[in-house]
């Protein structure tokens, strides 16, 4: 008897406009920034900061987070590929022999930015905040970080849900009797699109995956795809709890007055979650084969956790600061 074990086979694309694909993942990224803007608006109003400063902050954070997330994925997880495909680092395209971009650029397809890393986003966000605070000298770096982590936590939750829609960052194989066992039909390792199309003789990946799921002629192919942990959901739900904790501490207690505490708590909680969930994820690549013991994501999380604890317990005056 299975409680929640299920097949997962969303196309990931909500709709298309010409060659541009609007994906659930992209929309959830947009939602993360929009919700973050509204949360920071409330905070800035409470702290008597101007909307001009908020609008400027929005630009700095969007650019730094997106750039950092992208570069983090490139250098931490997939440099072996991108060192030979430099054009793809900052452009939403990928080399594909049978595809055509804009109808006349052969050998490439539009993919959107599907390779983004939270560690890179965190590092770049801190740099972006530092640059922003150089422009607005009445706002301190740590003061701002203590407040930005609140929308950042819920944004991280949105992004992991987007990963779930994309059937990426899937978990390790689990027995089908596990109550959350998920068969990711579009898993790029278990059933890459070229393999699905070859087995079904369908002309598009979407049609091929749908045939595997619903056509009884391919029931053996479907059964060959293993069930996995929905690690993205584990992470997304835990990040939501991190958001609730930070939100309540800021609005209901005086922890927002303790310099660096909320920022440190964010780092400690978020990357502790990441460290634990990594035990349930399949390998994402990177440098883990050289170091062993832990995954790349876990190795990158350890210094973040240590830094967070240092900020939490660093003795600083408990007053509202700038």
Span 40-99, pLDDT tens digits: 999 999 999 999 999 999 999 999 998 988 888 888 778 888 888 787 787 766 776 666
Q: Which two tokens stand for residue 309?
A: 């604890």
Tell whether residue 160 is among the known ligand binding residues: yes
Confidence band for 296, pLDDT divided at 50, 70 and 90:
confident
pLDDT in tens, 44-60: 999 999 999 999 999 99
**Residues paired with residue 294 on neighbouring β-strands, in sequence order:** none
Are residues 147 and 216 in contact, defined by beta-carbon separation less than 8 angstroms?
A: no
CA angle 58, 61, 67 (to 5 degrees): 135
pTM: 0.85
Beta-carbon count within 10 A of 320 CB: 11
HEC assignment per residue over 183-237: EECCCCCCCCHHHHHHHHCCCCHHHHHHHHHHCHHHHHHHHHCCCECCHHHHHHH
């Amino acid at each position: 008897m299975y409680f929640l074990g299920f097949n997962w086979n969303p196309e990931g694309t909500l709709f298309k406009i010409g060659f541009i694909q609007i994906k659930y993942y992209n929309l959830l990224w947009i939602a993360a920034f929009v919700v973050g803007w509204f949360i920071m608006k409330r905070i800035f109003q409470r702290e008597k900061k101007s909307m001009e400063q908020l609008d400027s902050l929005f630009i700095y954070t969007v650019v730094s987070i997106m750039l950092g997330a992208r570069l983090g994925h490139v250098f931490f997880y997939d440099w072996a590929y991108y060192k030979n495909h430099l054009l793809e680092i900052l452009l939403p395209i990928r080399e594909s022999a049978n595809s055509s971009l804009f109808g006349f650029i052969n050998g490439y397809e539009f993919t959107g930015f599907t390779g983004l890393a939270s560690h890179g986003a965190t590092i770049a966000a801190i740099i972006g905040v530092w640059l922003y605070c150089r422009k607005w000298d009445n706002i301190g770096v740590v003061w701002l970080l203590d407040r930005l982590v609140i929308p950042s936590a819920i944004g991280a939750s949105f992004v992991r849900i987007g990963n779930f829609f994309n059937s990426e960052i899937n978990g390790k194989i689990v027995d089908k009797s596990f109550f959350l066992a998920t068969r990711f039909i579009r898993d790029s390792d278990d059933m890459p699109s070229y393999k699905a199309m070859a087995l079904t003789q369908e002309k598009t990946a979407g049609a091929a995956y749908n045939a595997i799921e619903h056509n009884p002629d391919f029931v053996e192919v479907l059964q060959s795809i293993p069930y996995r942990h929905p690690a993205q959901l584990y992470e997304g739900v835990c990040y939501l709890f991190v958001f609730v904790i930070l939100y309540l501490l800021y609005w209901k207690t005086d922890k927002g007055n303790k310099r660096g505490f909320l920022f440190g708590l964010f780092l400690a909680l978020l990357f502790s979650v990441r460290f634990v969930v990594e035990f349930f994820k399949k390998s994402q690549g990177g440098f883990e084969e050289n170091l062993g013991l832990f995954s790349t994501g876990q190795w990158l999380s350890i210094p973040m956790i240590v830094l967070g604890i240092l900020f939490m317990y660093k003795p600083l005056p408990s007053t509202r600061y700038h």
